[in-house]
Structure 1
């Protein structure tokens, strides 16, 4: 069985696939299995989602559907099936999950085009308005009154409290706060600034620090330039939730929620 499986993978991924006729039968579920294995080899983390998409395609099209049978009508039907028929655990999937499953199947078809298993990806013929969309997220923000309440409320770990309030007054993400070192802090014509390469964008920024932000930055003491400004434990979001509750804040509260 392993020898047969290996032979199929070699045939589908090697140069031999490029000269095979597009009419040769390659079953859709076989291709999805191959696509999942290739993504796993590349270190991708969406393997479970690829399996879910394969299960949907098995329900929707059966086990004997071939790649060369896929057309625009099939792709429209796949999207409609997720919307109207697919009910894992008896409940419809969310719009964001539907968008993810569309993206995965679209990626698998693009891979099939590159491997010369199909001539084109029918999703490319679909109108943008017909494709699943990621719903716009509604972000929560802290009001000035809520920030004042947090300032007035003691916290078990005052270092975490200072880091959160520092982020409120300078706008850094949690990843940038964790990575902040004393060598990133400098004085320019009497103005304290931060020179930071953002963890998410890798773009350097130069932030002026207000007096309010400086109030929550710890003293450097004898720390070296490579030492971190904030000494923070793991699981910060779990630590700040009881603090927010004690301050009378009932909204969803994480380190990413800053003032408006």
Structure 2
């Protein structure tokens, strides 16, 4: 749940100070997403256009008082003592919520792969019936223990440190979203420590090695050409598989690629000389 201080201008010219409780969203019966908000009128006001020192002082004092009340409300929510939690939300299954957030990533094409992989692992260590009301410190320890010592790759090998880091971070992100949307009264994402990210060791091919690969037979020609294209551009497979021709621009004797990378969400500008494309 997010709690913020808002100002609402009145017809009289004064400004009313209110606290807004943003408790996430829900899907209506018509299938539309609806924002859930509640408001608390502090009965404190500001002069819209203070004309003297007295009015300016009143504005300062009332604004300070409102900010103090806001800090108290935020503290009460963090301690789980404020009575605004939707009881129905506490009965929602954690994995259903995580699946929903994963599908949202698919629609936006951002980080979907890591969310989907994390979901597959969580389904192995979390009961499908576990609700948000059952989330506690022990639950956090069990999940982290799974990623650290029990989770395996498709090849039945232990997860690398970077995979632990990526998948567990998605779990923590879901906890944070659940807190912001009113499913949890405690931000457990701040309580559980993530894995450290390892420095990756990258291997590189020489141009001669790439040329030799270009001459080597491959049963799947499209896979071979995609790999060679990746060597020339530095693009990941996830980026190459979604590229369209409008992102490749012919500029005299070179081709310029203008592309937004999925993993880092950053723009890429790279050039390929036509002479290098001969290996295709």
What range is the shorter-chain TM-score in? Answer: 0.3 to 0.5
Query: Which has more helix, going by share of residues?
Result: 1
Taking structure 1 as the reference length, the TM-score comes to 0.48
Query: Which has more strand, going by share of residues?
Result: 2
Taking structure 2 as the reference length, the TM-score comes to 0.45
